[in-house]
Structure 1
Amino acid sequence: MKKVLKLTLIGIIGGVVLALILWIVLALTGNTAYYLLFNFDYIPWINNLRPIWLWGNIFHYLTCIISVIALFYILNIKGWHKLISPYVAVYTIGGGGLFFLTALSHLPPAANDVMAWIYWTLAHAIFGLVVGLGVKSWIKE
């Protein structure tokens, strides 16, 4: 249970870093990739939850936490859970692909916004780095 709590904390810290990076991008460039972190309007029944700001944050952080725990245990099968590169690779590729869910939404960013995709994908690579470093330094066998 202690391991799951540490992984949860890693997911929260990674989620904060991810949001902060994309918020800085928004502040400096006006690019709207940040908004996609909290967008769930394309998910049936969940999209009716209010207030949107609260449920958007819950959606973002639960996604971060669940993905960290799941990926840790998947990588653990092959003994790769202490390597940083699989976290970076999975979150970079996965994040880059998930960006296109924005096509299902009327909210920004547009699915063809190349700069938003680049910012989004790079931010997810950094999220993977934060997660990998967190696992490597905090999870003791």
Structure 2
Amino acid sequence: MKDFLKLTGIGLFAGTILIIILKIVRVLTGNTAYILLFNFEYIPLIKDLKPIWLFGYIFHFVTCIISVIALFYILKAKSLQSKILPYILVYTIGGGALFFLTALSNKPPEANDFMAWIYWTLGHSIFGYAVGASIRKWI
């Protein structure tokens, strides 16, 4: 249970870092990759939840927490849970691929916005580093 709570905290911490990074990109460049963090309009059942802004944040943080917990235990099965590189690789590749879910939405960014994909993917690389480094330090 102690690890579960720490992993939840790490998910919240790294998820906040990801928000900050993509918000800075939004402010400095105007790129809309940030919007995708909170977009759940393509997911049946939850797409109609209101207020959208609140459930967007809940969606983002629940996704972060679940992914951190799941990846930790997957890596633990291979005795890799304390290595930072697997977290960076999984979140970079996974985030880069998940970007294209934006094609299912009417909200920006467009699926063919190369710079949004770059910002999104780099943001997820940093997220992966934050997760891996935090796990290495706190678990």
Distance (whole Å) between structure 1 residues aligned to residue 118 and residue 58 of structure 2 = 24
- 5+ residue gaps in structure 1? none
Aligned equivalent of 2:91: 91
Tell me how many residue pairs correspond in the alignment.
139
**SS of equivalent to 1:48:** coil
- 5+ residue gaps in structure 2? none
Distance (whole Å) between structure 2 residues aligned to residue 77 and residue 45 of structure 1 = 33
Within a 5 Å distance, the mapping from 1:12-27 to structure 2 comes to 12-27=12-27
Within a 5 Å distance, the mapping from 1:41-120 to structure 2 comes to 41-120=41-120
Distance (whole Å) between structure 2 residues aligned to residue 40 and residue 118 of structure 1 = 21
Cα deviation per residue 1:84-113 (whole Å; 9 max; x = unaligned)? 000000000000000000000000000000
Greater than 6 Å deviation, 4+ residue runs: none
1:45 shift after superposition: 1.6
Give the residue type in structure 1 aligned to 2:65. Answer: I
**SS of equivalent to 1:134:** helix
Distance (whole Å) between structure 2 residues aligned to residue 73 and residue 44 of structure 1 = 28
Identity of aligned residues (%): 66
Give the residue type in structure 1 aligned to 2:14. Answer: G
Give the residue type in structure 2 aligned to 1:100. Answer: F
Distance (whole Å) between structure 1 residues aligned to residue 45 and residue 51 of structure 2 = 14
| Alpha-carbon RMSD | 0.3
Distance (whole Å) between structure 2 residues aligned to residue 44 and residue 9 of structure 1 = 28
